[in-house]
Chain A
Amino acid sequence: MRQSVRHSQAAAPRDCVMCLGVPGKIVEVYREHDLLMGRVDFGGVLKRICLEYVPDIAVGEYALVHVGFALTRLDEAEANRVFALLAEAGELDEVREGTDALP
């Protein structure tokens, strides 16, 4: 997959913090100022995140985090489903290709 092609002289664009939620893993849950908070691991970087909007989330689960707030629990089964479907399609392609290749 092609990454950036040609950069201008300006600094490379960053992802907008307001648009893009970042997936993180909940490593600790605690209360502060009467708010449900958590320590969340973003690929090795730990941040303090408000968990008020995902009150049922548990340590070890993943959430999508926007500007310091977890907004949704990420569904691992759904995350895997797309790739199961694509793998299935790939296997079918191979069967088809194999059939075409027969003399």
Chain B
Amino acid sequence: MRFLDEYRDPAAVGRLITAIRAAVTRPWVLMEVCGGQTHSIVRHGIDELLPPEVTLVHGPGCPVCVTPLELIDRAVAVASRPDVIFCSFGDMLRVPGSGRDLFAVKAAGGDVRVVYSPLDCLRLAEQNPGKTVVFFAVGFETTAPANAMAVKQAKQRGLTNFAVLVSHVLVPPAMEAILSSAANRVQGFLAAGHVCTVMGTAEYGPLAERFRVPIVVTGFEPVDLLEGVLQCVEMLEAGRSGVENAYRRAVQAVGNPHARTVVEDVFEVTDRKWRGIGTIPRSGLRLRAEYAAFDAETRFAVAGLAAEESTLCLSGLVLQGLKKPHECPAFGRECTPQTPLGATMVSSEGACAAYYHYGRRKGVAG
């Protein structure tokens, strides 16, 4: 199938590496935005195949990582209620809150369930009229269309025992925050391909123009990632900024207008706090007033819960491309996937967890 296997072909990878070596004449720092890309890069050792001039730093695009600690605490509080069936994507269950995680709630008798699609929650709500089914609506632009449709459907079907705990974030405002920082060292971006399947590429034009950087829409397989690196390096070497698409089999410039219409119907843009980074203006989504009845934070009065982060953790600097995971003194010592101190060790997609799992404890492949 020409959608997966060929994109791991060693011969194709070799040709792209040769082309990148031929194109590069001086040092460049590129950031891959999405945690899925970080994971693929570290798993396949792509960063080690690149010429030494090209440094990849790892971006904030991991929804599990950037969900604030207090949101996890709110999820734990809601999930602990006897009148609630709490549903989530599996990735969120292992994320520790200030006290415990959702797995611990389940172990203590709470009704916590992993769902594949948010639509599964609607069936659960219909089958369990005596309980409220609460869905943990997290993620970037890739999960927003699914989560929005679940809320829209719940309203259409007149379901009153369904609610969502929303922690949606958006990619372009985070890229803007990184580029605006005085300490920024990112010179070009590999934009998250799957986010662009929904949003298209229009949001990136003004960013590329304002900050004079190349932004290359990039996929997730080794060949996709190296194509993205090659295009980005060629643009940097030629002194060109702008937006290019290296993932055309999946991304059209217009994105998916059907999906965007439903997202915009259900959600509106709001300020959001990012774990490890802080509040970024207009960087997330919340339910519109018409759908306020489905807001779990107000229904269960948990919006006031606050939490304190570890002072040892450097994940904010890692998420902004200012530090590599192994440069943190706590990495692999106080902070491991079993005892994560912060955002980037929490999820298997987080840069620190990826380095830990693939033996990059000292920044050298094992």
Contacts and interface: CB of A to CB of B under 8 A. Distances in A.
Interface in A18-73: 18-21, 23, 33-35, 47, 49-50, 52-55, 62, 64, 66-69, 71-72
A1 B10 contact: yes
Interface residues of A, number: 51
B100 interface: no
B90 A64 contact: no
Interface stretch (B116-124, B236-244, B279-287): B116-124
A18 B89 contact: yes
A76 B222 CA distance: 18
B131 interface: no
B194 to A, nearest CB: 5
Chain A at the B interface: SS class: loop
Interface residues of B, number: 75
Contact of A78 (B43, B249, B262): B249
A16 B36 contact: yes
A11 to B, nearest CB: 8
A36 to B, nearest CB: 10
Given A16-B35, A67-B139, 20 more contacts: A4-B357, A5-B366, A6-B366, A8-B359, A10-B336, A13-B353, A17-B91, A18-B139, A19-B142, A20-B194, A53-B262, A66-B143, A67-B89, A68-B117, A69-B149, A74-B3, A81-B249, A82-B249, A86-B11, A89-B19
30 contacts: A5-B45, A10-B337, A10-B357, A12-B357, A13-B349, A16-B39, A16-B64, A16-B91, A18-B89, A18-B142, A18-B143, A19-B36, A19-B63, A19-B349, A20-B194, A21-B250, A23-B3, A35-B119, A35-B149, A47-B116, A49-B117, A53-B259, A54-B256, A64-B250, A66-B194, A67-B118, A67-B146, A72-B250, A78-B249, A79-B6
